[in-house]
Amino acid sequence: MDRNNIIGFVLLGVLLVAYLLYNQHEQKVYQETLRIDSIQKAKLNPRQLVDTAKTVASVAAPVNDSIVAAQHQDMPKSYYGKSDTVVLENKKLSLKFSTKGANPFAAQVKDYKTYSQKPLWLFDGHGSMLNAILPYDHGKTTQDLYFIPSITTSTNGDKVLDFAAELKDGKKVDVVYTLPADDYMMHCDIILTGLNAAEPLRLQWQSFLLPTEKDITLERQNTQLYYRQKNEDHDYFTLRPEEKTQNAESTVSWVGFRKQFFSTLLLSDDGFSKMETKFFYKTDDSNVTGQNIAMLTAPLKPGNQQTVSLKWYIGPNDYRTLVTYKSGMEDMVPLGYGIMAFVKYINKYALIPFFYFLASFIGNYAVIIMLMTLAIRLVLSFFTYKSYLSSAKMRVMKPELDALRDKCGDDQQKFSMEQMKLYRSAGVNPLGGCLPMLFQLPILLSMYYMFPSFIEFRQRGFLWANDLSTYDSIFDFHFNVPFYGDHVSLFCLLMTASSLFLAIYNRNMTPQDPNNPMMKYMPYVFPIMLMGVFNKMAAALTFYYTFSNLLSMAQQFVIQKYFIDEKAIHAQLQENKAKPATQSKWSQKLEEIQKMQAEKSKPQQRINKK
């Protein structure tokens, strides 16, 4: 090998060593750059910090705690960590918390089961959370932090779960949950130490409620967003497939996301100065009944330790339970609203206390329905008797009315005026059969609102109905019949049949107006029209209407058989006709209107004759 070859090999060796040294240096620079970038990104996303740290460690060296700690030496400990689950339980609730975010992501209501008899989880994952936007590090949130939990139990059995997150320079965030030993209401305190926030704390509350009932479509129709303002006004909005945004006009005491029989509710004694909510459901997602995303603004109590105190209700829409909190939460049980809002007072102060009185010593809820119906019929028996007595008077006077109709011929105006004179002379009130029935209408409407929303009927069976809180299907079509549904409710059929029988019975007992043939068919059309509406109603409601119809038949038979003597009524009416008639102001006004109509119709009658 000559000198030139030796020099060539030496130069190649030098170049190779130089390349290896340079490549090693560049690798170190690259890994250091990657580590710095990952820390910068982690300030916006701590989960990304953990993933990137694992990637860097796998390239440079085996993963161990000392290396991970070294990579985060310039960051608060709460910015990185591992998400664990902490369980907090009492006699009524079982709650699962995440150490990342320090909020409950799952809640089981222990005393209840789903319709399919599985443990009832009101929410479980799917993004349910309570997130506070902190006045720290450009809006860092509690959901970005990893907390250290500690659990203590007080002497009275209350459990306290304290999530602590250490920040820089002695700053700290604590989220403290206090769960009483036997209650659905949990207390939540968000404590900021050393942050000295100048503005109220903004909260993001997300609720994804799970299906628990027989029919998710009906469950969604009975799912609402409720909120109550400091001035004690409250409002609600029913869940829809399209996203709806609602803002409160004033300070809000509480906001609740209510399903048919269960709710989750956030309450602040100091009130939320601002509230904006979005609530909706996805038609293609049968795993979630509905979702609510609420942005709330809560005032901070002043001091080095600033606190937001909240109460969190997770539980059933039990009227007696909600009333005990004395915050108007019982409004979430719909007992009458809209133009029928007045019936909720009948429910609150009459029917509900009577129901609970009977339930205190009777365990069969169908028997309670029957006893309530009997009691209501007894209370209204006076008005029922007056109604049937008025119908009897009209039957007795039918021959005279027929003679009067033949005398007047086609002149309907003249017949109406002569008819009023006949009624007045005999002392008969033509509205006597209608007005007493109007007193019964509020009771029927009260039951219409009360029974489907009363959780006491949930999973209580009677005869073929295994759950009085929903419809009693005896046959499923597996397709939808327009204006009817996809199933057959037997109690609804019995209600319709008994209504038709009652209509036929009343028609035979009440004089008919031959000039108004449509009225002859209306009593039959109305029950059939309602059959499609009530086919999907709670079995407790359709059973009540069925039993009420049967009682009406029996009551009408007894009154007409033993309390009404048509011969005596006829004699009394003839005696009244012999006496001077005293005309009431209402009768005078009605007669004046009829005379005016008769005068207006005369020119038209002359034209028709020509």
Residue 557 clears pLDDT 60, i.e. is over it: yes
Q: Is 323 helix (H, G, I), strand (E, B) or coil?
A: helix
Q: What is the pLDDT of residue 30?
A: 40
* Residue 540 pLDDT class (50, 70, 90 cuts): very high
Q: Is the sign of the CA dihedral 46, 51, 54, 56 positive or negative?
A: negative
Query: 215 is written with which tokens?
Result: 């029919």
Altogether, the residues listed in the chain come to a count of 610
Q: Are 101 and 204 in contact (CB under 8 A)?
A: no
The structure's pTM equals 0.76
Cβ-contact 396, 387 below 8 angstroms: no
Which long-range contacts (C-beta less than 8 Å, at least 24 apart) are formed by 214-217? 214/115, 214/467, 214/470, 214/471, 215/470, 215/471, 215/536, 216/286, 216/289
What is the DSSP code (8-state) at residue 194?
Answer: S
At 105 the pLDDT is: 93
pLDDT band for position 384 (cuts 50, 70, 90): confident
In the predicted structure, residue 6 carries a pLDDT above the cut 90 = no
Per the listing, tokens 């320079």 go with: 169
Q: Tell me the per-residue pLDDT of 434-488, one tens digit each, with 9 for 90 and over.
A: 655 677 788 888 888 899 889 999 999 999 999 999 999 998 888 888 888 888 9
Torsion (CA) 375, 381, 383, 386 in degrees, nearest 10: 170
Sign of the dihedral defined by the CA atoms of residues 376, 381, 383, 385, in that order:
positive
Domain over 85-330 is classified CATH 2.102.10.10: no
Mean local confidence (pLDDT), 417-442? 68
Residue 28: what pLDDT?
Answer: 47
Residue 592 identity (one-letter amino acid): E
Euclidean distance between CA atoms 225 and 310, whole angstroms = 19
User: Residues 317-327: what's their mean pLDDT?
Assistant: 92
Residue 105: CA atoms inside 13 Å, Cβ hemisphere, count? Answer: 15
According to DSSP, residue 76 is labeled: -
- Annotated domain spans of the chain: 3-75, 85-330, 345-380+440-579
